[in-house]
Amino acid sequence: MAAARRLRVLVVDDQPAVRDVVGDMVQFTGHDVIGGAADGIEAVEQARRLHPDVVIMDVVMPRANGIEAMRTILAEKTAAGVLLMSGEYHSHGMTKEELIKAGAAAFLEKPFSLNDLTVSMEKCAGGPVA
């Protein structure tokens, strides 16, 4: 039997407390947090350097939002998949469907459960991993 694959995850959110909580959830699922960023520009820079399996990224952030950063990361193929998350996307005139059409492998509305995070990370990575 093959050993379970551990995902290498980059967590991006402009709120440090959210990065910490999501990072703890990722680690609880048996995967590794390899970096954290506070905005889309930092996310692109870290993805280029770290090549994570999954980027978990907020949609609404300063400097460069999650959609802009996701498009760059996916175009440069510096991550296998991007999981977008947001609690305020609708206040910016976006729908879940538009976020998926923009290229996200999955979308989670904050707050979300550990199970929803696990399923969404697997979707980003192409199937069950742990």
DSSP per-residue letters across 52-75: -SEEEEESS-SSS-HHHHHHHHHH
The CATH number of whichever domain residue 63 belongs to comes to 3.40.50.2300
Q: Is residue 64 part of a domain?
A: yes
Place of tokens 């995967």: 31
In the prediction, which pLDDT does 3 show?
A: 46
Q: Which structural domain range is residue 67 located in?
A: 7-89
In the prediction, which pLDDT does 82 show?
A: 94
What is the number of structural domains in the chain? 1
In the prediction, which pLDDT does 55 show?
A: 97
| Residue ranges of the chain whose pLDDT lies below 50 | 1-3, 130
Q: Is the pTM of this model over 0.85?
A: yes
Q: Is residue 102 part of a domain?
A: no
Q: Is residue 104 part of a domain?
A: no
Quote the CA–CA distance of 19 and 122 in Å, as a whole number: 19
Burial string for 87-111 (b: 16+ CB within 10 Å, else e) reads: eebeeeebeeeebeebebbbbbeee
